[in-house]
Amino acid sequence: MATLKDVAKLAQVSTTTVSRILNGDPNLIVPDKTRDRVLRASLQMQYQVKARKREIGRRKLRRVGMIAFGNEQVERDDPYFLSIRRGVEQEFHKLGFDQSVVVQWSDTISSYNTFLDVDGVIVVGNNYEAADFFLGKSQKVVFVDRCPDISSFSSVVIDFASATYKVLDHLLSLGHKRIGYIGGIQNNGLEEDLRLLAMREHLGSKQMYFDEHIHVSQTWSVMGGYEMAKLAMASGNLADAYFIASDPMAIGAIRAWTESGIRVPHDVAIVGFDDIELAAYVTPPLTTVNIPTEIMGQMAANLLVDGIGDFDIPVALTVPTSLIIRESCGSRLTLNTRSDSP
């Protein structure tokens, strides 16, 4: 029996596009030749649209809402969350929900009861209060970025451990032996960042993890990175390289070290996380982990509205990451050194 994936492969489009065309989505805008190609492929493969799939999609969700991470200041400090929210909003707009979306920020919500009036909710970030509130209620809920309870809620998440291993292995390949970490607190200090946990495991297995090179700020801002970089210098025991858990913090660290005459990457190498737009334009350009944040938001919106197949169990979608190598990690210095060698 032909599947949606089979039709998509034959028509050379995404499964989402096939689903929306075959289900008669009025908000989908595609060229006529694309629509015809999908219809011909479905007929050729004798694909049958499942009636239940049509019923459980957007026709059931009349009004949706989103709980954004932190507050507006947090979004200004860290564009990572802003990009996710924009991705959600853009996709909701395409799906026809633009006039009904309820948006509130997680740390300004006095009561989640507002969301009892909506049919579905996107929650950005690791929001335990939202998870506790919606557990067992009728609203369909999807978490994006982190999920406190993958057994109860669908989610779109990042494999932070895998991304961290890419960073550390790259720094190790460049010859850095003392690798530090700069990041922010998680869940008001009640848990450790997943990147730090992965770093402790990965470097610990090589006897290369040192607590004195770990610096955790109260905020994930440029200023937080600046202050932690100053603290690292004040300790008198600067590491060879630092994995910095957000690009804004990495930019703050570069500023702090540059002010003190410490050259990046000559004296200390840096790798950030998120690949925000500014990362390629700082001096030196920032090596970082690219996260497809806007796509994550779009995926979360589609997962909320259409789900995956006819399954009633929670689904966790893990998005891939990639290491973007620029000058801040010292790759160019290493290549130059090798090319100059006899």
What are 104-121's pLDDT values in tens digits?
Answer: 999 889 889 989 999 999
Query: In this structure, are residues 79 and 251 in contact, taking their beta carbons and an 8 Å threshold?
Result: no
Residue-averaged pLDDT of the chain: 87
If one compares 95 and 122, the residue with the highest pLDDT of the two is 122
Q: What is the mean pLDDT of the segment spanning 158-168?
A: 95
Question: Can you give the pLDDT at residue 334?
Answer: 56
* 156 has pLDDT over 50: yes
* 188 has pLDDT over 80: no
Question: Can you give the pLDDT at residue 337?
Answer: 43
Q: Rounded to an integer, what distance in angstroms lies between the CA atom of residue 247 and that of residue 259?
A: 18
Burial class (CB in 10 A: 0-12, 13-18, 19+), 228: buried
Question: Can you give the pLDDT at residue 258?
Answer: 96
First to last CA, the chain: 63
Q: What is the mean pLDDT of the segment spanning 55-83?
A: 80
Q: What is the mean pLDDT of the segment spanning 135-155?
A: 93
Q: Count of CB atoms within 10 A of residue 323's CB?
A: 16
DSSP structure string for 46-91: T----HHHHHHSTTT---EEEEESS-HHHHHH-HHHHHHHHHHHHH
Burial class (CB in 10 A: 0-12, 13-18, 19+), 35: middle
User: Could you tell me the pLDDT band of residue 30, with boundaries at 50, 70 and 90?
Assistant: confident
88-98 pLDDT, tens digit per residue, is 999 998 888 87
Q: What is the mean pLDDT of the segment spanning 214-235?
A: 95
Q: What is the mean pLDDT of the segment spanning 65-84?
A: 88
SS3 call for 297: helix
Cα pseudo-dihedral 329, 332, 334, 337, rounded to 10: -150
- What are the chain's domains? 4-49 (1.10.260.40), 64-158+293-320 (3.40.50.2300), 160-291+324-340 (3.40.50.2300)
* 53 has pLDDT over 70: no
Question: Can you give the pLDDT at residue 206?
Answer: 95
Question: Can you give the pLDDT at residue 27?
Answer: 63
Q: Rounded to an integer, what distance in angstroms lies between the CA atom of residue 270 and that of residue 293?
A: 22
Question: Can you give the pLDDT at residue 39?
Answer: 79
* 293 has pLDDT over 60: yes
The amino acid present at 301, given as its one-letter code, is A
User: Could you tell me the pLDDT band of residue 168, with boundaries at 50, 70 and 90?
Assistant: very high
If one compares 339 and 324, the residue with the highest pLDDT of the two is 324
User: Could you tell me the pLDDT band of residue 333, with boundaries at 50, 70 and 90?
Assistant: low
Q: What is the mean pLDDT of the segment spanning 29-35?
A: 80
User: Could you tell me the pLDDT band of residue 240, with boundaries at 50, 70 and 90?
Assistant: very high
Copy the structure tokens of residue 248.
């804004």
* 271 has pLDDT over 80: yes
* 253 has pLDDT over 50: yes
Question: Can you give the pLDDT at residue 85?
Answer: 93
* 341 has pLDDT over 50: no
Question: Can you give the pLDDT at residue 50?
Answer: 57
Helix axis angle, 247-259 relative to 222-234, nearest 10°? 50
Question: Can you give the pLDDT at residue 284?
Answer: 95
Element (H, E) at 306: helix 293-306
Picking from 14-23, 197-206, 220-229, 331-340, which range would have the lowest pLDDT averaged per residue?
Answer: 331-340
Q: What is the mean pLDDT of the segment spanning 150-171?
A: 95
